[in-house]
């Protein structure tokens, strides 16, 4: 089967310090139609990422020189929203949470299956900040809080919270389907870009947890409800919206 890629090869920055793993992944992604640039430490990753033009980053957390979380923070601080997939050690829950809080889009734990890894990276390439069917760029919630898609913020009065690109996408998708349960598999397909929503990952639940914590600061503690066995439902009142220009 031919790789599912566009005519222009997607550019992947691969950051992995273990040479055998790095070399194997380079071969894998080249065989899948990617243009791969690989480095072995965090400082090189920052330098290479500064050149721009990458469609996705596959980033190991445990790196010499500068760890993966610091690399991620550097990217997001300079407003580089290239999709990032973290490679983490099994059981490294704290690293996973920190990574997602700092703007990672998803994670895979080692050891991983190569087919799953490729599927995850392809999902990143299909990322969207908000569904094309939802043209609103600013949404007013509960007659006071303003969700600004372009600025990646939710604000109420002087209180302004900054969202990651993925949190913005998640909130926008839920807002556009207010008051009906949205299953996790629907979120994985439409927000994370995976073709198969049955993929096993806790990333949806972790992102929802983090998003709830942020929204609490602007009176949105109860906006996202868990519907047992069905997914999540947005329960805030979307009272006004504006289309972006």
Considering the domain boundaries, does residue 53 fall inside one? yes
* 133 vs 83, residue with greater confidence: 83
Is the peptide bond preceding residue 111 cis, with omega within 30 degrees of 0?
A: yes
Q: What pLDDT is stored for residue 136 in this prediction?
A: 59
- Average pLDDT (217-240) is 89
81 lies in the same domain as 174? no
- Residues 94, 17 share a domain: yes
**Residue 245 confidence (pLDDT):** 36
Q: Distance between CA 192 and CA 110 in Å, rounded?
A: 20
User: What does the alpha-carbon distance between residue 83 and residue 187 come to, in Å, rounded to a whole number?
Assistant: 17
141 and 121 part of one domain: no
Please check whether residue 5 lies inside any domain of the structure. Answer: no
**22-37 residue pLDDT tens:** 999 999 999 999 999 9
46 belongs to a structural domain = yes
Ramachandran quadrant class, 101 (left: phi over 0; alpha: psi -120 to 50; beta: rest) = alpha
Residue 94 in domain:
yes
Reported confidence tier of residue 3, pLDDT bands at 50, 70, 90: very low
CATH code at position 81 = 3.40.50.2300
Claim to verify: residue 38 and residue 69 sit in the same structural domain: yes
Give domain status of residue 189, yes or no.
yes
Same domain, 145 and 204: yes
In a domain, 4, yes or no: no
Residue position matching structure tokens 């972790």 = 206
pLDDT at position 4? 47
The CA-to-CA distance between both ends of the chain, in Å, stands at: 42
Position 130 in a domain: no
- Which domain range does residue 199 map to? 136-243
Q: What is the DSSP string of 91-159?
A: T-HHHHHHHHHTT--EEEEES--HHHHHHHHHHHHT--SS-TT--EEEEEETTTEEEETTTTEEEETTE
Residue 194 in this model has a pLDDT that exceeds 70: yes
CA pair distance 37, 161, nearest whole angstrom:
34
Closest among 227, 245, 122, 243 to 178, alpha carbons compared: 227
Q: Half-sphere exposure (CA, 13 Å, Cβ side) for 7?
A: 0
User: Does 58 reside within a domain?
Assistant: yes
113 and 191 co-located in one domain: no
Boundary residue ending a domain (125, 153, 169): 125
Q: Are residues 77 and 160 in the same domain?
A: no
Q: With pLDDT > 90 as the criterion, what percentage of the chain qualifies? A: 45
Q: Say which residues have a Cβ less than 8 Å from residue 113's Cβ, sequence separation at least 6.
A: none
As a whole number of angstroms, the distance between CA 195 and CA 209 comes to: 24
With a cut of 90, say whether residue 80 has pLDDT above it. no
Report residue 241's pLDDT band, with 50, 70 and 90 as the boundaries. Answer: low
Phi first, then psi, for residue 86 (nearest 5°) are -85, 140
Q: Is the pLDDT assigned to residue 219 strictly greater than 60? A: yes
Q: Which pLDDT band, with edges at 50, 70 and 90, does 2 fall under?
A: very low
Same-domain check for residues 106 and 157: no
Q: What is the pLDDT of residue 7?
A: 57
Enter the tokens of residue 242: 């504006």
State the average pLDDT over residues 55-65: 92
Whether 99 and 177 map to the same domain: the answer is: no
- What is the per-residue DSSP string for 214-241? HHGGGT-TTSEEEETTTEEEE-S-EEEE
Mean pLDDT of the chain: 85
The CATH number assigned to the domain holding 203 equals 1.10.10.10
Residue 37 to residue 49: CA distance in whole angstroms: 10
Task: Indicate if 197 and 121 belong to the same structural domain.
Answer: no
Question: Which phi and psi (to 5°) does residue 115 adopt?
Answer: -70, -40
Q: Are residues 63 and 99 in the same domain?
A: yes
Domain final residue pick, 76, 101, 125: 125
Q: What pLDDT, in 10s, does the model give residues 122-179?
A: 888 876 443 444 445 788 898 789 998 888 899 999 999 999 888 998 998 998 888 7
pLDDT at 91 over 50: yes
pLDDT at position 201: 79
Residues 81 and 17 in one domain: yes
How many domains, in total, are found in the chain?
Answer: 2
Could you say which of 67, 94, 125 is where a domain stops? 125
User: Residue 93 above 90 pLDDT?
Assistant: no
């Amino acid at each position: 089967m031919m790789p599912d890629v566009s005519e222009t090869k997607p550019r992947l920055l691969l950051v992995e310090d273990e040479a055998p793993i790095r070399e194997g992944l380079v071969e894998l992604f080249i065989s899948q139609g990617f243009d791969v640039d690989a480095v072995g430490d965090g400082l090189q990753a920052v330098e290479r990422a500064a050149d721009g033009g990458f469609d996705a980053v596959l980033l190991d957390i445990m790196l010499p020189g500068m760890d993966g979380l610091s690399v991620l923070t550097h990217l997001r601080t300079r407003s580089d929203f290239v999709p990032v997939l973290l490679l983490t050690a099994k059981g490294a829950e704290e690293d996973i949470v920190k990574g997602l809080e700092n703007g990672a889009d998803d994670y895979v734990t080692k050891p991983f299956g190569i087919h799953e890894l490729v599927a995850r990276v392809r999902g990143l390439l299909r990322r969207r900040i908000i569904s094309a069917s939802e043209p609103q760029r600013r949404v007013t919630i509960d007659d006071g809080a303003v969700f600004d898609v372009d600025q990646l913020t939710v604000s109420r009065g002087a209180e302004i919270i900054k969202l990651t690109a993925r949190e913005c996408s998640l909130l926008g998708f839920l807002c556009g389907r207010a008051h009906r349960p949205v299953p996790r598999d629907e979120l994985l397909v439409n927000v994370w870009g995976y073709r198969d929503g049955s993929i096993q990952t806790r990333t949806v639940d972790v992102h929802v947890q983090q998003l709830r914590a942020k929204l609490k600061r602007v009176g949105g503690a109860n906006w996202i409800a868990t519907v047992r066995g069905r997914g999540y439902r947005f329960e805030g009142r979307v009272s006004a919206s504006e289309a972006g220009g």
